[in-house]
Structure 1
Amino acid sequence: MKKTLFVCFLSLLFSLSACVKSGETTNSSSFTESSTTHSSSQTSTTKSSVVESTQTETDWIQEKITTMTLAEKVGQLFLARFPGEQALNDSQTYNLGGFILFGTDVVNENKDSLIEKIQNLQAEQKIPLFFASDEEGGTVTRISMNPNLVEARFLSPQAIYQEQGWEGIAQDTQEKAAILADLGFQFGMFPVADVATNPQAFIYERTIGLDVIGTNTFVKTVVKSLKETGVASTLKHFPGYGDNLDSHVEIVTDTRSLTELEEDALPPFQAGIEAGADSILVSHNIITSLDATQPASISPTVIQFLREELQFEGVIMTDDLDMAGMTDFTSQEAAALSALKAGNDLVLSSHYASQIPVIIQAVEQNDYPEIDLNQAVYRVLKLKAELGLLKE
């Protein structure tokens, strides 16, 4: 990257047009190609508008962050497992960023009762909460297991694609998002961007079941279909499961080379980023070609790769920190701090009560710099603003 910028700088000294051409080349991804062109006047106008809009957005969100206490800022970085009757107390005590609900949390609800529950919780918040539910479809769905919430269970992407193709995927995504938004959810925690073509692989049934090209199309279709729905897209499980084992029961060690990842695992994430993905969920797998010693979710090297090589600027979140195997690398109390220090913005956890004080202490002792904390809070609040939860 430094070499490319240096070349561009030298070119600028001789010719503005040469620099423009060089800039177009550097902005091209190593995984995808872009053929869109604009006139110079259109480009200038667009860039001016974007800069002005971004500056305005930055100003008021940054200003809001300066008014928040340390505890309020730390709490915003937690997407916590829904604690039932303790939800109101915990959300206020720990200033939580949001809740993720599972099947047991909605099994006794109907539409009216769930909407009322979420609305009542939101009404008591200083900063509105994210509400999330895993709704990949097929084997992973929460709300659609309850016929009082959704008439028919959400189908798997594979089943929809086989019957209706990409139009079916787009329509299903929009319909699912409408249901989620109506109930009060902002996260459906999909699409699955993992490439898996082996039916015996753990992740296979949750994927589109196609090769890397087909998975690219799937991810782009879902992300674009989620835009303007009020429901955020989440690409998972970075940097791709492949045909590996289940990290819910053990830490998976992925020995694929970086070249193999670039050819078969990373392209769908790049495609999703270019389509405007809101967030990316990082797995607990150890990716030896990136970091042979730590799970990806707590690896600064992996998060840096996602930021710098794939140029993702949105919210990065961990997979559930309660998954088996993490205790080999960090204690439960320190797990969230490890994740944030690695560069994550949002932590999925049930143990926020013991983890948040550890983070606050780390910031106070400058073990976790407050400037890094503020950057993560900014990304979280920015997404809340984009989803209509937070207003200037």
Structure 2
Amino acid sequence: MKTSLSLSKRLLWSAAASALLALAACSSDSSTIGAEENELEDSIEKMTLREKVGTMFFVRPESMDTTIHWKEYTELTDHKLQKVNKTMLAVNKDYPVGGVILFAHNIGDENQLAEFIKEIRELNGTPLLAIDEEGGRVARIANNENFDVPKYESMAAIAESGDPNDAYKAAFTIGSYIKEYGFDIDFAPVSDVNTNPDNIIIGPRAFSDDPETAADFVVSYLNGLDSAGIVGTLKHFPGHGDVKADTHFGYAQTNKTWKELLKCEMVPFKAGIDAGAQMIMTAHIAVPKVTGDNLPSTLSPVILQDKLRGELGFDGVIVTDAMDMGAITKQFNNKEATIKAIQSGVDIILCPQDFVEAFDAVVKAVEKGEIEESRIDESVHRILKLKKK
């Protein structure tokens, strides 16, 4: 591992930095905030429509290599795309991207990762770098034998201590090494409540089957990432813990009412929002007793606008779970799913199955008036604000 700073020193420096940030916050006034908002608005006004649309896409590296053809995302592991090639550069010239997410097969060793991230940083769109590094079975770096970083059994194992500070320490450690390697965003913590023993996708990735316990550990984990300089992401809204099916492969739903969700699934999400969460990832699960239909939550304005934005008051960035998952692709085509997600209130489209096609579909939808450009501007504003931080 490249870093030579001890965890204790990092914690001390983090505390000092937090104190300075607090003082800075106290000294800021409405005029400063107003100036920052004006600066963001000016930046958006200078952007072309394609630049704005590109900001809303976070893609797999393979999405920019149009010579790679695939139906199931599991096929991508065979390609092991681990560098920016000429095809990607040619595509990216006309299709800027707001972010790139790396998976296990995109990561070889420290030297390769450093070079790959350097190349990605130079792409059109000045993309952010994201990764799924939860700790436990979902950890793209820690589970790679070429990296000497701490490993964790699971979030459930961490929560067995009963001390939320253990989640902070783990997240700070994880955040520190992914920051060192060059990432900006961690799609963690899992904020689901693991209430269904038949759940095959969440399980010990969640901290607890008790909502209050899960909430305490989620907030501590989120704070740990923040102290390390990494943006965390609450996932998977509105809660994947009571679902039997795996959305990677097809339709999944929960039969809970909103009242029931408020008593359980919403507890960690509300706690995370109150703690200042900047990003929330959607789940592709349907909630028919809340929405009145079988739409995945990712495509539901009821879930995203009425509940998440309206009732829970979340004003940060909403990112989809990967749009190439079966719960989406087996019900909707690529263009349809992308348009529906944006119309429903999503800010970032993550891993569309065909990036170029989805991008063109959004541009055409705006030009035809199916999506107002002001709607695109809202998402771009949130994303640029996140980038500025």
What is the CA distance between 1:336 and its match in structure 2?
Answer: 1.2
Residue 276 in 1 paired to residue 279 in 2? no
Distance 1:126 1:322, change over 3 A: closer
Find the residue that maps to 2:147 and give its secondary structure.
coil
3-state SS of 1:145 partner: coil
Q: State the 1:259 CA deviation.
A: 1.0
User: Residue 381 of structure 1: which of 381, 384, 388 is its match?
Assistant: 384
SS of residue in 1 equivalent to 2:130: strand
CA separation in 1, counterparts of 2:29 and 2:343?
30
2:374 is paired with a residue of what secondary structure?
Answer: helix
**Kept in 2: contact 1:141–1:154 (CA 8 A):** no
1:144 corresponding residue in structure 2: 142
Instruction: State the Cα distance separating 1:126 from its structure 2 match.
Output: 5.0
State the TM-score, normalized to the length of structure 1. Answer: 0.82
* Deviation at residue 286 of structure 1 after TM alignment: 0.6
Matched residue SS, 2:142: helix
What is the DSSP-based 3-state SS (H/G/I as helix, E as strand, rest coil) of the residue aligned with 1:280?
strand
Query: Quick one: which amino acid aligns to residue 333 of structure 1?
Result: K
What does 1:1-392 correspond to in 2, within 5 Å? 49-83=28-62, 84=81, 85=85, 86-106=87-107, 109-122=108-121, 124-125=122-123, 127-162=125-160, 165-202=163-200, 203-245=202-244, 246-293=246-293, 294-304=295-305, 305-327=307-329, 329-349=331-351, 350-386=353-389
Change (3 A) 1:146 1:242: closer
In 1, the alpha carbon distance for the partners of 2:89 and 2:230 equals: 23
Deviations along 1:268-317, whole A, 9 cap, x unmatched? 10100111111000111111132132111011111112101110010001
Maintained 8 Å contact 1:286/1:292: no
Post-superposition offset of 1:166 = 2.1
Return the offset for 1:61: 1.3
Residues 88 and 166 (structure 1 numbering): CA distance in 2 closer, same or farther, change over 3 Å? farther
- Segments of structure 2 that go 5 or more residues without pairing to the other structure are 1-23, 63-80
C-alpha distance after superposition, 1:79-128 (max 9, x if no partner):
1012233544444431101111111111xx22232112212321x24542
CA contact (8 A) 1:139 1:205 kept: no
Kindly state the Cα deviation for residue 329 of structure 1 after the two structures are TM-superposed. Answer: 4.0
Residue identity in the other structure for 2:309:
R
RMSD, aligned CA = 2.0
Aligned-partner Cα distance in 2 for 1:46–1:182: 26
**Secondary structure of 2:41's match?**
helix
| Code of the aligned partner of 1:58 | E
Cα distance in 1 for residues equivalent to 2:224 and 2:141: 20
Instruction: State how far apart, in whole Å, the 1-side matches of 2:169 and 2:26 are.
Output: 32
Distance 1:90 1:292, change over 3 A: farther
Aligned partner letter, 2:359: I
Taking a change above 3 Å as real, the CA distance of residues 323 and 194 of structure 1, as seen in their structure-2 partners, is: same
SS in 2 for 1:326: helix
Q: What amino acid maps onto 1:381 in structure 2?
A: L
| CA positional deviation for 1:327 | 3.9
Asked if the contact 2:97/2:124 (under 8 Å) is kept, the reply is no
From the superposition, tell whether residues 113 and 369 of structure 1 become closer, same or farther in structure 2 (CA, over 3 Å). same
Which amino acid in structure 2 is aligned with residue 74 of structure 1? V
How far 1:229 moved relative to its partner? Answer: 2.5
Structure 1 Cα separation of the partners of residues 44 and 225 of structure 2: 28
Identity %: 32
Contact 1:199 1:205 in 2 (8 A): no
Residues 137 and 143 of structure 2 are in contact (CA less than 8 Å); yes or no, is this contact kept in structure 1?
Answer: no
Looking at structure 1, the residues matched to 341 and 96 of structure 2 have their Cα atoms a distance apart, in angstroms, of 19
Question: Which 5+ residue runs of structure 1 have no aligned equivalent?
Answer: 1-44, 387-392
TM-score normalized by the length of structure 2: 0.82
Query: 1:171 offset after TM fit, Å?
Result: 0.8
Q: CA deviation at 1:167?
A: 2.4
